Amino acid sequence: MNDIFKALNDATRREILELLKTKDLSAGEIADHFNISKPSISHHLDILKRADLITSEKSGQFIFYSINTTIMEDVLQWVLTFKK
């Protein structure tokens, strides 16, 4: 769970998740939304993948990323345990 919160602690990674809410995107499509280097985007994607917040699938020469909704649901259920 620490990896999840570490990943969510960064505004860029939260914005990447926002982009992926609507559709799966390639790394290049994600990078187009930011004014940072492609290696930096790759680093953020790697952190999100290690936290299992996103998944990737290779299609031809591109890798497409999508949200792992199962992990998001697990985190939400855990947070809701604190609600009385």
Residue-wise pLDDT for 74-83, tens only, equals: 888 999 999 8
**Across all residues in the chain, what is the average pLDDT?**
94
Residue 49 CB contacts under 8 Å (≥ 6 apart), including other chains: 55, 56
State pTM to two decimals: 0.89
Would you say 61 and 47 are in contact if contact means Cβ atoms under 8 Å apart?
A: no
Query: Which of the four pLDDT bands, split at 50, 70 and 90, describes residue 84?
Result: confident
Residue-wise pLDDT for 41-59, tens only, equals: 999 999 999 999 999 999 9
C-alpha distances (whole Å) from 30 to each of 15, 63, 76 are 10, 11, 25
Q: Domains of the chain (ranges plus CATH)?
A: 2-80 (1.10.10.10)
**Predicted pLDDT at 2:** 86
